[in-house]
Amino acid sequence: MKNLYALFFFTGLFFRLHGQQFTLIKDINPGSATSNISYLTNVNNTLFFAANDGTNGMELWKSNGTSAGTVLVKDIMAGTGSSSIGYLTNVNGTLFFVANNGTNGTELWKSDGTDAGTVMVKDIRSGSMGSNPTGLVGMNGVLYFAADNGLQGTELWKSDGTLAGTTIVKDINASSASSYPQSMTNVNGTLYFSADNGVKGMELWKTDGTSTGTVLVKDIWSGSNESYPFDLAAIGNTLYFSANNGSSGTELWKSDGTSAGTTIVKDIWSGTNSGYPYELVNIGGTLYFSANNGSSGIELWKSDGTTSGTSLVKDVWPGSQSGAVGNFEKFVNKLVFTGNDGVNGYKTWQSDGTVAGTQMATGIVDVGGGTLEELVETDWKIFASINQTATGSELWAVNFSVVLPLDLLEFKGELVQQDAVLNWKTANEKNTLEFIVERSVNGSNYEPVGRVASGGTGNYTYIDKHITTLKTGTVYYRLRQVDVDSRFTYSKIVTVDLKTVQHFSLYPNPATGSINLQAGNNSSGNIRYKIFDGAGKVILQSSGQMSTNGGISIDINTLAKGIYYLDLNAGLADNTIKFIKQ
């Protein structure tokens, strides 16, 4: 193990003091003037963000973690004016954002990190008015957002990054009225948001990306009153949010996507008063947020989704004063936030979910008199927007390896046919015993699926077989690095997306002369298959072309009567299907 203190011990200690802390990458707006660093976004280990250098206004920047490599991408509104850039969002390696070039108004843009490759996707509302896109979020490789085309009001839109592929999803509030979709959140392949259809008020909606699949989940405050769901956050397949049902005030709610499964978690400030949970954030499968129970002021809370498991973490400013201010961010599966204990003023705090572990930040995240505002992780650096009196809000960073007991240079996962292939690269290992690969299907509960012994340093690979049989949209992985003295720490989390996996059905079953396969997504293309008998012997193997509706017929006249298994190897096919030949 590298000669650094481990980040997490069995003793429950959180951040240990390291020699390295966040360092200033570049003072973009020199001196005490602020560049207002915001919207930190990782795209393939390049950091993109919005900043104002005092010359070009608020524009798009990028950084490779060095001062020389921290540069303006494009001056979208030429000169000193600001393009009002915002909502930076990574969708499968493409950076989407909104900006105003001074001619077309605020519209949807995208960038590949070059000046020439930073372009407007579509002038949704032609002319200088702008469609004013908001709430950008990615789901299943598609960008979703709210926009106003000047005809149907502010409604739900989607884009694949092309002009033709940027279209309205549904006119929720018919005609020119607006439904104002907001607080959009992807929950394992379903997009949830708040919207007003003109009848029910602002309520909870969901969509699968189609007009018919865009529906009201629940009229939480029945009638024309509005529950106004906000701060939507996902943990696994569960959505958490704040809403008002008209009797309990604004409190913490959760939903499984059904009306019956959309329920209040806890009436934090009992009665009609509002606990008003906000800054909802998922940290390692635990929901953290600020709330007011009526006696402790606005403080730090957490929840496991149950009434009894929703509790005050710590009264940061003892008494009725409010101590949990905001800026909730994840730092290697732990929480950092801005707090005030009534003695030291506004400082950066850290929490592991316990009273003792909720304290003013120490070690790496101790930014002294400054305030840590935003965080984003790449494979090798953790970037931050830190506001210091001497520099204003500027770009800082720390090497990811200093929060691990070794240099984890890279950790990636990808789907190869039916398997998850995980690769990681290390340096400076010392006293490392093994890596335990842990898997989760909901992003919350992890279980070990394999072990890889330490090789001292170098490249590692682990293959998690047949993950497509898990029947989930996304699989989550993390590494538990275990030392010879049994101490351990976790890596960052990587995901493997199964959304593009094809699901097949087989009919008839039992069959006589032929069997028919049907792709669940009706996709066409070439398919390869093998048929095994009960002893595992390959009886037949071939390939064929699926029809335009995703079907294919396989001749089984040559097979003897019995039980067989059809194994599909269709690039991204997920099934081994049992069938009977009569």
pLDDT over 50 (residue 518):
yes
Residue with tokens 């005050």: 312
The C-alpha angle 438, 441, 444, rounded to 5 degrees, equals 75
Identify each DSSP E strand in 520-575 by its residue range: 525-533, 538-546, 551-555, 562-568
Asked whether 316 and 299 are in contact (CB, 8 A), the reply is: yes
Statement to judge: residues 425 and 489 lie in one domain: yes
pLDDT digits (tens, 9 = 90+) for 78-99: 988 999 899 999 998 899 999 9
**Mean pLDDT, residues 375-400 taken together:** 88
Statement to judge: residues 512 and 493 lie in one domain: no
What's the structural domain count of the chain?
Answer: 2
Model pLDDT, residue 19:
44
- 527 domain-assigned: yes
Q: What percentage of the chain has pLDDT greater than the value 90? A: 57
Statement to judge: residues 440 and 519 lie in one domain: no
- 490 domain-assigned: yes
Domain termination residue (choose one: 497, 516, 545): 497
Top-confidence residue, 527 or 252: 252
Tokens of 453: 């012994």
Residue 11 — pLDDT band, cuts 50, 70, 90?
very low
Tokens of 133: 């896109």
Asked whether 527 and 517 are in contact (CB, 8 A), the reply is: yes
Residue 67 — pLDDT band, cuts 50, 70, 90?
very high
Residue 431 — pLDDT band, cuts 50, 70, 90?
confident
DSSP lists the bridge partners of residue 26 as: 395
Statement to judge: residues 469 and 548 lie in one domain: no
pLDDT over 50 (residue 10):
no
Top-confidence residue, 2 or 43: 43
Top-confidence residue, 54 or 474: 54
Mention every residue, 6+ apart, whose C-beta is less than 8 A from residue 151: 176
Statement to judge: residues 492 and 508 lie in one domain: no
- 418 domain-assigned: yes
- 349 domain-assigned: no
Model pLDDT, residue 502:
55
Report how far residue 544's alpha carbon sits from residue 457's, in angstroms, rounded to the nearest whole number.
Answer: 45
pLDDT over 90 (residue 544):
no
pLDDT over 60 (residue 3):
no
Domain termination residue (choose one: 497, 515, 549): 497
Asked whether 452 and 463 are in contact (CB, 8 A), the reply is: no
Complete edge-to-edge strand list for the sheet that includes strand 166-170: 134-139, 142-148, 154-159, 166-170
73: three-class secondary structure by DSSP: strand
Least confident of 3-12, 175-184, 358-367, 395-404: 3-12
- Which pairs count as long-range contacts for 303-307, CB under 8 Å and 24+ apart, including other chains? 303/240, 303/252, 303/265, 303/266, 305/235, 305/238, 305/240, 305/254, 305/265, 306/265, 307/265, 307/266
Top-confidence residue, 366 or 503: 366
pLDDT over 90 (residue 59):
yes
Report how far residue 189's alpha carbon sits from residue 239's, in angstroms, rounded to the nearest whole number.
Answer: 12
551: CATH: 2.60.40.3080
**Mean pLDDT, residues 56-61 taken together:** 96
Average pLDDT, the chain: 87
446: CATH: 2.60.40.10
Domain termination residue (choose one: 472, 497, 522): 497
Tokens of 226: 């509005």
Asked whether 509 and 579 are in contact (CB, 8 A), the reply is: yes
Statement to judge: residues 488 and 521 lie in one domain: no
Report how far residue 335's alpha carbon sits from residue 68's, in angstroms, rounded to the nearest whole number.
Answer: 31
Backbone angles phi, psi at 503, to 5 degrees: -110, 130
Tokens of 218: 């629940």
Q: Which of these, 402, 413, 417, 428, lies nearest to 466 by C-alpha position? A: 417
Domain ranges, residue 543: 504-581
- 546 domain-assigned: yes
Report how far residue 157's alpha carbon sits from residue 315's, in angstroms, rounded to the nearest whole number.
Answer: 42
Statement to judge: residues 461 and 533 lie in one domain: no
Q: Which of these, 367, 362, 366, 325, lies nearest to 342 by C-alpha position? A: 325
Number of H helices, E strands in the chain: 0, 47
pLDDT over 90 (residue 29):
yes
Write down the pTM of the prediction: 0.73
**Mean pLDDT, residues 139-161 taken together:** 95
Report how far residue 120's alpha carbon sits from residue 104's, in angstroms, rounded to the nearest whole number.
Answer: 9
pLDDT over 90 (residue 130):
yes
